[in-house]
Structures are given as C-alpha cells and as structure tokens.
Chain A
Amino acid sequence: DIQMTQSPSSLSASIGDRVTFTCQASQDVRNYFNWYQQKPGKAPKLLIYDVSNLDTGVPSRFSGSGSGTDFTLTISSLQPEDIGTYYCQQYHHLPYTFGQGTKLEIK
C-alpha cells in the first residue's frame, strides 16, 4: 500500500497567517491526489482534486501544488472557518490511502 505522510500533525496559526501543509507519498502517485477538509463533528469535504483544482465553492485562498511524491496545501490568509483537520489522499493505486491528517487550530 502507498503510505501518505502528512506534516505537521497539528498546527496553530493566527487569523490572516499564510498556512502550509505538506503530504508525502511513499511512491509516485503522479497527479492522482486530493485534499479534504473535515470540520469538527462533520463529514469530510472535498477541497482540492487532482493536486491543484479547487472544488466548487472552495474559497480562492486555498491552493494546492506538487507532483509525484510531494504535495502542498496552502491557505493564503487564514480565516476562523478554516479550523478543522485536513487530509490528503492518493488514488493512483488501490487501496486508495489517506494521510493521517493535520489538525489546524487558531492561535
């Protein structure tokens, strides 16, 4: 199975900060890569698909980049509603696998 490793495991930042999450795959997943956001007590939601494409309704302060094994999710200006846990996912090889998540809190 492809292992997805996210860092950091948790992050505390201030409103307006630029925030960056990373995800590393144990082997090349090309661009078969998504990010999800899970707010407390809610189901996850697709945030970014195919590395850099924002899902419908996702604010433009979110962006994704990367290729192969190293990927990044950036929030350009942190807002209070962005708190939650962020998961990466690869869908290049079965079983599709998720990272362990990065929990984002407001400082």
Chain B
Amino acid sequence: EVQLVESGGGLAEPGGSLRLSCAASGFTVNNAWMTWVRQAPGKGLEWVGRIRSKSDGGTADHAASLKGRLIISRDDSKKTLYLQMNSLKTEDTGVYYCIAGADRLDYWGHGTLVTVSS
C-alpha cells in the first residue's frame, strides 16, 4: 500500500524557516517523480513544484511565484522527500501535501499544516 506521511509543519515566524519531510513507502520511491502542492485555509490547490527521479536527472522545477524560497529535494536512501521553506511569509500558511507522481498526481499524503504568524 502506498503511504506518504508528511511531517515538520507547525508555527513559524515571518522571515523564518521550516523543513517539511515526507516519508514514502509502498512503491519504488527512487523511480518516482514527486510533487508538493499546498492549500491555504479555505482556498484552492497551488502547485509548489516537483522533483524528478535520480535516473531522470534528480532536478526540481518550482513555481516561479515562490521566488526560490521553497526548495524541493529528496534522499532516496531514506525514502524521503523534503521541502525547505525559507524567508517565510504569512501567505505561506496552509496545508502542504506530498504527492507521488508528477503529471498525474496519483497518491497524496494527508498533509502537514504550516502556520506563519508572529
């Protein structure tokens, strides 16, 4: 069974940093492209970015609107996906979902809540 378990969310101050993790299991993680999507409270879905499998280059594409503040990486030895969040803004508040898949978002984690507030 595919499982994606996000962690690392919580309360952070504006200008601060957080690193979200996503532990993946139940599929061949190192072959999978992975995606982060976020959802502000009461709002719709926003694509944050995706990362290729190592065999496809291992590089990431990010939403330009995030201006390099949110960076995706992976550690296949730990079967873990990361989202490094820097220079946090109040508008980064929301639930962050880890997803197995890139074009077709097949499997979603339950999400982790990030609150940016002073």
Contact = CB atoms under 8 A, between A and B. Distances in A.
A32 B102 CA distance: 12
Contact of B47 (A45, A50, A96, A101): A96
B94 interface: no
Interface string A63-107: 000000000000000000000000101010011111111000000
Given A43-B109, A95-B63, A95-B64, A87 B47 contact: no
Given A95-B47, A97-B47, A100-B44, A43 B110 contact: yes
B48 to A, nearest CB: 9
Contacts of B46: 98
B45 interface: yes
Contact of A44 (B65, B103, B104, B108): B108
B45 A43 contact: no
Contacts of A46: 101, 104-106
Interface in B92-108: 97, 101-106, 108
B105 A89 contact: yes
Contacts of A45: 108
Contact of A36 (B50, B65, B105): B105
A34 B111 CA distance: 20
Main SS of chain A's interface residues? loop
Contacts of B104: 34, 46, 49-50, 91
A50 B49 CA distance: 20
Nearest to A96: B47
A87 to B, nearest CB: 6
Interface string B77-118: 000000000000000000001000111111011110000000
A100 B97 CA distance: 17
B109 A101 contact: no
20 contacts: A34-B104, A43-B110, A44-B97, A45-B108, A55-B106, A89-B45, A89-B105, A91-B102, A91-B104, A94-B61, A95-B47, A95-B63, A95-B65, A96-B47, A96-B50, A98-B44, A98-B46, A98-B47, A99-B44, A101-B44
